[in-house]
């Protein structure tokens, strides 16, 4: 297994930077890079953080087989079945009990050849640990066809906290179908942030979080911009089984000619389960569409579930307000769009917040 | 500073201003009274160039230039400013970002922002989305804070005192006095203002040179603002307007 930081070609490096990947051991506690099916690097610089290829991990740890295809089912659909093959690769990230590191762990999946990339990841935050992961997924500039299939299984143990920030940057003809699920134990917190702002053929995913433990928390946020001819069909489902557990699903969707399905589903099965679902959409083009599909399901009398959804264009009143402070119409529009995309994500380290801001900055010009 | 000549305006085809004439010189502050729905806010919106308000005839001259074809931001760059009665909430846009832009427009030293924010007791709101979850008084203070940073030559205030408690009125009034050069000697005043007020509470904290009553889209009375306020409280708007227009046999107003 190569442990050095690979020398990357300029165009690859630039693409990776757009999805928050820096490959800088000074700023990261561990890094991982997989190009197509090959693990190019996997290194950890922090004690208590494990970062190795999934193949190696399955050889090293017998017990890991109990986590493999546990929360995501092999027979879930045709795409999960396609990933159940020998050539599958991916990462294994584990924070040992009680470990807390300042710098995020960085994992990158890069699609370079016009084949199907098949990935299976396992992420474990052991008891009372704290793990922040930035995951960048991108395809090579000019790649004319390709598909990314990724299984990710997250395990958040008792009182552990895991934040997973995923930035996607694909090309026009790439099809992306991740399949993710998480189990959160007592007192655990799972924070997921998903950002996609560049053209893609289709992204389709519906990650599920099982809040099995009492007083566990899930916060799922997504920021989606769909350019012309792109289809982004995403959402999160949280099943609340633990007492006093809570779920929040937030999304901001902008269509600049593309189609967005903004889904969300909260199932409350336990006493004092709380859930809130919020999806806000903004149409910046006469083409394209945004479809908000929020669902709530109560299976216990003592639950509190709510949702709000609103889709519209930029309010003329807001543009005028900003213009009365000297913003030009274009500057006002840009500032309002920027504000719209700025989800206040609780519990996110500042470095990751900065990454999200940078990703927003990059597309701002194309939006207005 | 501002010369409004025979101005008519409409909103969605409904006339809202009728032959309005107004002349505000450098250093002068006017108060605009009038019943609800008689065109006070419409006049301010037309002056600042809200696209929903269309000039149908007449002219608006600002600093000697006809500004009718100018967009709102161009008018602001020329030196106009406005505080809104009910500004919209803009989620995700922080008050500080708005203020930094105002500072950029006016060339105000950004460090001044914190000084002004302290003066208006708004330091805690700088990193909050503008107007989101602000109380009535906080909205008004935020509006005046933005104007202080923007430092306009002609300031339009739409009910800076409505829904505001006495403590807030004195803070806002003091800042308005600053904005309108009211703390300077008469000869040294450079800033001009037009203030809409209902109860006139704000006049206890900012003085003004003239009062106007806008009635059915027309300017019906002009005079000393304090006498006018006194008359309005005794006779009501109708009574005042009747008195002002006494002797105008052919007046369309009655």
Q: What pLDDT shows up at residue A16?
A: 85
pTM above 0.90, yes or no: no
The per-residue DSSP string of A129-149 comes to: -EEEEEEEEEE-TT--SEEEE
Whether the CB-CB separation of A206 and A180 falls below 8 Å is answered with no
Res. A3 pLDDT band, cuts 50 70 90: low
- Asked if the structure places residue B98 within a domain, the reply is no
Res. B3 pLDDT band, cuts 50 70 90: very high
Query: What gap in Å lies between CA B103 and CA A144, rounded to an integer?
Result: 47
Q: Which helix (H) or strand (E) holds B215?
A: strand B210-215
Total domains, chain B: 1
Asked whether the beta carbons of residue B90 and residue A326 sit closer than 8 angstroms, the reply is no
Res. B254 pLDDT band, cuts 50 70 90: very low
Please give the C-alpha separations between residue B245 and each of A79, B213, B252, in angstroms, as whole numbers. 82, 12, 10
Asked whether the beta carbons of residue A324 and residue B72 sit closer than 8 angstroms, the reply is yes
Asked whether the beta carbons of residue B101 and residue A317 sit closer than 8 angstroms, the reply is no
Q: How far is B232 from chain A (nearest CA, A)?
A: 32
Please give the C-alpha separations between residue A264 and each of A46, A77, A205, A252, B191, in angstroms, as whole numbers. 36, 20, 11, 12, 54
Asked whether the beta carbons of residue A326 and residue B150 sit closer than 8 angstroms, the reply is yes
Name the token pair of A57: 């991990």
- Using a CB-CB distance cutoff of 8 angstroms, which residues of chain A are in contact with residue B77? 326
The maximal CA–CA distance of chain A, rounded, in angstroms, is 66
Res. B242 pLDDT band, cuts 50 70 90: confident
Name the residue of chain A whose CA is nearest to B82's CA. A324
Asked whether the beta carbons of residue A317 and residue B97 sit closer than 8 angstroms, the reply is no
Half-sphere exposure of A305 (CA within 13 A, CB side): 24
Residue length, chain A?
368
Query: What gap in Å lies between CA A280 and CA A295, rounded to an integer?
Result: 15
Q: What pLDDT shows up at residue A111?
A: 92
Please give the C-alpha separations between residue A65 and each of A42, A59, A76, A124, A220, in angstroms, as whole numbers. 20, 9, 18, 13, 27
Please give the C-alpha separations between residue B47 and each of A43, A177, B2, B6, in angstroms, as whole numbers. 64, 54, 9, 13
Q: Tell whether B85 is within 8 A of chain A (Cβ).
A: no
Q: Tell whether A131 is within 8 A of chain B (Cβ).
A: no
Q: Tell whether B48 is within 8 A of chain A (Cβ).
A: yes
Place of tokens 């197509």: A36
Strands (E), A80-184: 91-95, 105-111, 116-125, 130-139, 146-156, 161-169, 174-184
Residue A90 has pLDDT above 90, yes or no: yes
- Using a CB-CB distance cutoff of 8 angstroms, which residues of chain B are in contact with residue A324? 48, 72-73, 76, 81-82, 84
Query: What gap in Å lies between CA A352 and CA A164, rounded to an integer?
Result: 10
Q: Which residues contact A193 (CB under 8 A, 6 or more apart)?
A: A163, A164, A165, A166, A221, A222, A223, A345, A348, A352, A356
Give φ, ψ of A225 to 5 degrees: -125, 125
- Asked if the structure places residue B251 within a domain, the reply is no
Q: How far is B92 from chain A (nearest CA, A)?
A: 4
Q: Tell whether B107 is within 8 A of chain A (Cβ).
A: no
- Asked if the structure places residue B139 within a domain, the reply is no
Q: Which residues contact B36 (CB under 8 A, 6 or more apart)?
A: none
Lowest mean pLDDT among A71-85, A340-354, B31-45, B224-238: A340-354
- Asked if the structure places residue B127 within a domain, the reply is no
Asked whether the beta carbons of residue A340 and residue B87 sit closer than 8 angstroms, the reply is no
Residue B250 has pLDDT above 70, yes or no: no
Name the token pair of A362: 């990059």
Percent of chain A with pLDDT over 90: 75
Please give the C-alpha separations between residue B2 and each of A358, B38, B80, B170, B224, in angstroms, as whole numbers. 44, 21, 10, 28, 19
Please give the C-alpha separations between residue A263 and each of A19, A206, A251, in angstroms, as whole numbers. 23, 8, 9
The per-residue DSSP string of A186-217 comes to: TT-EEEEEEEE-S--SEEE---EEEE-STT-E
Query: What gap in Å lies between CA B125 and CA A286, rounded to an integer?
Result: 36
Range of the domain at B220: 2-87+153-177+186-244
- Asked if the structure places residue B145 within a domain, the reply is no
- Asked if the structure places residue B157 within a domain, the reply is yes
Which of B48, B67, B88 should we substitute to test contact with A (largest number of A Cβ atoms within 10 Å)? Answer: B88
Whether the CB-CB separation of A268 and A242 falls below 8 Å is answered with no
Mean pLDDT across chain A: 91
Mean pLDDT across chain B: 92
Lowest mean pLDDT among A107-111, A204-208, A354-358: A354-358
For residue range A170-197, what is the model confidence (pLDDT) as tens digits?
Answer: 988 999 999 999 999 999 999 999 999 8
ipTM: 0.95
Name the residue of chain B whose CA is nearest to A330's CA. B73
Res. A158 pLDDT band, cuts 50 70 90: very high
CB pairs under 8 A between A and B: 68
Q: Tell whether B93 is within 8 A of chain A (Cβ).
A: yes
Closest-CA residue to B127 (of B90, B92, B94) = B94
- The distance in angstroms from the start CA to the end CA of chain B is 32
Q: What pLDDT shows up at residue A4?
A: 59
Name the residue of chain A whose CA is nearest to B77's CA. A326
Q: Tell whether B105 is within 8 A of chain A (Cβ).
A: yes
For residue range B197-221, what is the model confidence (pLDDT) as tens digits?
Answer: 988 889 989 999 999 999 999 888 8
Q: What pLDDT shows up at residue B143?
A: 97
CATH number at residue B199: 3.40.50.300
A321: nearest CB among B51, B87, B92: B87
Q: How far is A326 from chain B (nearest CA, A)?
A: 4
Query: What gap in Å lies between CA A174 and CA A113, rounded to an integer?
Result: 11
Residue A124 is given by DSSP the state E
Query: What gap in Å lies between CA B106 and CA B114, rounded to an integer?
Result: 16
Average pLDDT for residues A114-139, to the nearest whole number?
94
Closest-CA residue to B24 (of B54, B68, B69, B62) = B62
Residue B120 or residue A22, greater confidence: B120
Q: Tell whether A342 is within 8 A of chain B (Cβ).
A: yes
- Asked if the structure places residue B110 within a domain, the reply is no
Whether the CB-CB separation of A109 and A137 falls below 8 Å is answered with yes
Query: What gap in Å lies between CA A260 and CA A291, rounded to an integer?
Result: 6
Asked whether the beta carbons of residue B92 and residue A320 sit closer than 8 angstroms, the reply is no
Query: What gap in Å lies between CA B107 and CA B149, rounded to an integer?
Result: 9
Closest-CA residue to A68 (of A136, A147, A166, A152) = A152
- Asked if the structure places residue B239 within a domain, the reply is yes
Q: What pLDDT shows up at residue A126?
A: 98
Q: Exposed, middle or buried, A58 (CB in 10 Å: 0-12/13-18/19+)?
A: middle
Res. A157 pLDDT band, cuts 50 70 90: very high
Res. B113 pLDDT band, cuts 50 70 90: very high
Res. B154 pLDDT band, cuts 50 70 90: very high
Residue A246 has pLDDT above 60, yes or no: yes
Average pLDDT for residues A152-156, to the nearest whole number?
98
C-beta atoms surrounding B75 within 10 Å? 24
Q: Tell whether A338 is within 8 A of chain B (Cβ).
A: yes
CA A244 distance to own-chain centroid:
25
Q: How far is A254 from chain B (nearest CA, A)?
A: 15
Q: How far is A332 from chain B (nearest CA, A)?
A: 10
Asked whether the beta carbons of residue A318 and residue B90 sit closer than 8 angstroms, the reply is yes
Whether the CB-CB separation of B143 and B83 falls below 8 Å is answered with yes
Q: Which residues contact A242 (CB under 8 A, 6 or more apart)?
A: A184, A186, A211, A212, A213, A214, A215, A216, A270, A273
Residue A254 has pLDDT above 50, yes or no: yes
Whether the CB-CB separation of B40 and B32 falls below 8 Å is answered with yes
Q: Tell whether B82 is within 8 A of chain A (Cβ).
A: yes
Q: What pLDDT shows up at residue B177?
A: 94
Q: Tell whether B86 is within 8 A of chain A (Cβ).
A: no
Which ranges in B120-216 belong to alpha helices (H)?
136-150, 166-179
B88: nearest CB among A315, A325, A327: A315
Whether the CB-CB separation of A335 and A327 falls below 8 Å is answered with yes
Please give the C-alpha separations between residue A298 and each of A12, A238, B107, in angstroms, as whole numbers. 47, 12, 56
Res. A343 pLDDT band, cuts 50 70 90: confident
Q: How far is A336 from chain B (nearest CA, A)?
A: 7
Asked whether the beta carbons of residue A323 and residue B71 sit closer than 8 angstroms, the reply is yes
Average pLDDT for residues A29-51, to the nearest whole number?
92
Whether the CB-CB separation of A212 and A183 falls below 8 Å is answered with yes
Q: Tell whether A318 is within 8 A of chain B (Cβ).
A: yes
Percent of chain B with pLDDT over 70: 97
For residue range A346-366, what is the model confidence (pLDDT) as tens digits?
Answer: 666 777 777 777 777 777 777
Q: Which helix (H) or strand (E) holds B60?
A: strand B53-62
For residue range B80-100, what is the model confidence (pLDDT) as tens digits?
Answer: 999 999 999 998 899 999 999
Q: Tell whether A340 is within 8 A of chain B (Cβ).
A: yes
Q: Tell whether B50 is within 8 A of chain A (Cβ).
A: yes
Instruction: Describe the crossing of helices A316-323 and A329-341 by its angle, rounded to 10 degrees.
Output: 120
Name the token pair of A317: 């009143």
Query: What gap in Å lies between CA A149 and CA A126, rounded to an integer?
Result: 26
Q: Tell whether A68 is within 8 A of chain B (Cβ).
A: no
């Amino acid at each position: 297994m190569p442990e050095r930081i690979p020398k990357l070609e300029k165009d690859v490096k630039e693409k990776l930077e757009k999805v928050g990947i820096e490959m800088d051991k000074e700023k990261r506690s561990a890094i991982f890079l997989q190009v197509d099916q090959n693990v190019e690097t996997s290194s950890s610089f922090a004690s208590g953080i494990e970062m190795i290829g999934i193949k190696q991990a399955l050889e090293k740890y017998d017990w890991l087989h109990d986590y493999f295809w546990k929360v995501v089912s092999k027979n879930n659909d045709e795409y999960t079945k396609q990933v159940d093959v020998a050539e599958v690769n991916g990462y294994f990230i584990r924070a040992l009990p009680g470990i807390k590191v300042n710098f995020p762990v960085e994992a990158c999946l890069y699609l370079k050849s016009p084949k199907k990339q098949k990935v299976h990841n396992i992420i474990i935050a052991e008891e009372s640990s704290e793990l922040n992961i930035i995951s960048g997924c991108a395809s090579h500039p000019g790649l004319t066809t390709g598909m990314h299939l990724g299984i990710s299984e997250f395990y958040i143990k008792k009182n552990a906290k895991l934040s997973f920030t995923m930035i996607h940057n694909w090309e026009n003809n790439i099809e992306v179908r991740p399949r993710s699920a998480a189990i959160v134990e007592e007192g655990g917190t799972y924070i997921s942030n998903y950002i996609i702002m560049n053209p893609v053929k289709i992204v389709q995913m519906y990650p599920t979080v099982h809040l099995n433990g009492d007083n566990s928390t899930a916060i799922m946020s997504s920021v989606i911009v769909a350019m012309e001819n792109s289809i982004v069909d995403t959402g999160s489902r949280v099943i609340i089984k633990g007492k006093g557990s809570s779920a929040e699903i937030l999304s901001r969707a902008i269509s600049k000619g593309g189609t967005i399905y903004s889904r969300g589903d909260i199932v409350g099965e336990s006493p004092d389960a709380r859930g809130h679902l919020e999806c806000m959409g903004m149409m910046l083009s006469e083409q394209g569409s945004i479809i908000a599909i929020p669902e709530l399901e109560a299976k216990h009398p003592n639950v509190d579930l709510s949702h709000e959804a609103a889709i519209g264009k930029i309010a003329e009143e807001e543009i005028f307000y900003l213009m009365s402070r000297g913003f030009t119409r274009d500057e006002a529009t840009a500032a309002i769009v920027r504000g719209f995309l700025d989800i206040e994500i609780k519990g996110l380290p500042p470095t990751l917040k900065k990454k999200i801001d940078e990703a927003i900055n990059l597309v701002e010009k194309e939006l207005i | 500073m501002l010369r409004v000549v025979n101005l008519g305006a409409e909103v969605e085809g409904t006339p809202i201003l009728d032959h309005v004439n107004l002349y505000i010189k450098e250093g002068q502050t006017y108060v605009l009274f009038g019943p609800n729905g008689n065109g006070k806010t419409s006049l301010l919106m037309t002056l600042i160039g809200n696209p929903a308000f269309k000039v149908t005839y007449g002219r608006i001259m600002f600093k000697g230039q006809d500004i009718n074809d100018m967009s709102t931001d161009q008018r602001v760059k020329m030196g106009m400013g406005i505080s809104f009665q009910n500004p919209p909430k803009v989620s995700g846009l922080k008050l500080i970002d708005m203020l930094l832009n105002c500072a950029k427009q006016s060339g105000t030293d950004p460090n001044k922002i914190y000084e002004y924010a302290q003066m208006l007791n708004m330091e805690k709101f700088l990193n909050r989305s503008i107007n989101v979850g602000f109380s009535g008084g906080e909205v008004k203070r935020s509006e005046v804070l933005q104007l202080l940073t923007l430092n306009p030559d002609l300031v339009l205030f739409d009910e800076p005192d409505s829904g505001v408690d006495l403590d807030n009125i004195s803070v806002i009034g003091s800042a308005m006095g600053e904005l309108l050069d009211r703390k300077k000697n008469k000869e040294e005043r450079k800033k001009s203002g037009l203030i809409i007020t209902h109860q006139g509470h704000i006049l206890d904290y900012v003085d003004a040179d003239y009062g106007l009553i806008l009635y059915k889209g027309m300017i019906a009375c002009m005079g000393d603002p304090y006498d006018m306020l006194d008359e309005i409280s005794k006779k009501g708007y109708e009574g005042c307007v009747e008195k002002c227009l006494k002797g105008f046999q052919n007046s369309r107003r009655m």
